[in-house]
């Protein structure tokens, strides 16, 4: 093992011993579930371990709370996506429902698309999805969003750029 790896592990070990209880309590205020708070607090330390400039951090609480907040938001978004999918599914006739395995794959695809489009404005996400999933033209999307086709084109460029950047760093 190299010295940097040992140092990183020692830093995370110190942080975990000193800050885990605080972080778990901090997360629990927003989740109202001790099990979720424990999961998020633990995942926060795992993600912190992957940071490149970990050794330069002087105050871990702001960093840990930022990572934990991001994990909570991601969980809430996943829950909202799942609820929306299940509501749409319940509106279909029973015989048209995909199998549980297919439902799982569809949800995973929705989560992946959500991660790809995260950070875009609502209009940019909507324009991209209308174009890619519904095959709508820029003028059609523009009418729905109340913007010009040129603006829709700008939204599409933002979405494609965002996807490219995410894929490049994956």
Q: Dump pLDDT digits (tens) for 134-164.
A: 889 999 999 999 999 999 999 999 999 998 8
The pLDDT of 72-87, averaged and rounded, is 87
Give this prediction's pTM.
Answer: 0.67
Same domain, 2 and 81: yes
Give me the mean pLDDT over the 112-131 stretch.
89
Kindly state whether residues 1 and 63 are assigned to the same domain. Answer: yes
**Does residue 58 form part of some domain?**
yes
Query: In this predicted structure, what is the pLDDT of residue 4?
Result: 55
pLDDT of residue 111: 84
Whether residue 110 lies inside any domain: the answer is no
Confidence of residue 5 (pLDDT cuts 50, 70, 90): low
Please report the pLDDT score of residue 69 as a whole number: 94
Judge if 142 and 64 occupy the same domain: no
Confidence band (pLDDT; 50, 70, 90) for 165?
confident
User: Are residues 65 and 25 located together in one domain of the fold?
Assistant: yes
User: Rounded to a whole number, what is the largest CA-CA distance in the chain?
Assistant: 61
Per-residue confidence band for 6, with pLDDT thresholds at 50, 70 and 90 = low
Residue 114 maps to a domain: no
Q: What is the CA radius of gyration of the chain?
A: 21
If one counts the domains in the chain, the total is 2
Asked whether the predicted pLDDT for residue 1 surpasses 80, the reply is no
Do residues 124 and 91 both lie within one domain?
no
Q: How far apart are CA 37 and CA 28, in angstroms?
A: 5
Who has greater pLDDT, 111 or 65? 65
Segments forming the whole domain that contains residue 65: 1-101
Residues 139 and 76 occupy one common structural domain:
no
**23, pLDDT greater than 80:** yes
CA-CA-CA-CA dihedral for 130, 101, 76, 87, to nearest 10: 60
**Pairwise CA distance, residues 126 & 141, whole Å:** 9
- pLDDT attached to residue 87: 87
d(C-alpha 82, C-alpha 110), whole Å:
9
Q: Is the pLDDT of residue 170 over 60?
A: yes
Mean predicted lDDT score pLDDT of the chain: 88
The last residue of one of the domains, among 74, 101, 128, is 101
Identify the domain boundary among 56, 73, 101. Answer: 101
């Amino acid at each position: 093992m190299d010295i940097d790896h040992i140092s990183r592990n020692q830093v995370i070990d110190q942080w975990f011993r000193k800050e885990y209880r605080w972080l778990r309590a901090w997360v629990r205020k927003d989740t109202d579930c001790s099990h979720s708070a424990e999961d998020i607090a633990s995942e926060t330390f795992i993600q912190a371990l992957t940071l490149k400039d970990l050794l330069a951090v002087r105050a871990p609480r702001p960093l840990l709370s930022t990572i934990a907040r991001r994990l909570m938001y991601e969980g809430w978004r996943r829950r909202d996506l799942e609820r929306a999918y299940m509501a749409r599914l319940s509106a279909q006739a029973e015989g048209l429902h995909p199998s549980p395995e297919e439902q799982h794959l569809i949800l995973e695809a929705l989560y992946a698309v959500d991660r790809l489009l995260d950070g875009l404005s609502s209009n940019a996400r909507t324009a991209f999805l209308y174009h890619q999933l519904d095959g709508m033209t820029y003028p059609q999307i523009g009418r729905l969003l109340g913007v010009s086709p040129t603006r829709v084109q700008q939204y599409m460029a933002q979405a494609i750029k965002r996807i490219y950047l995410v894929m490049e760093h994956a």
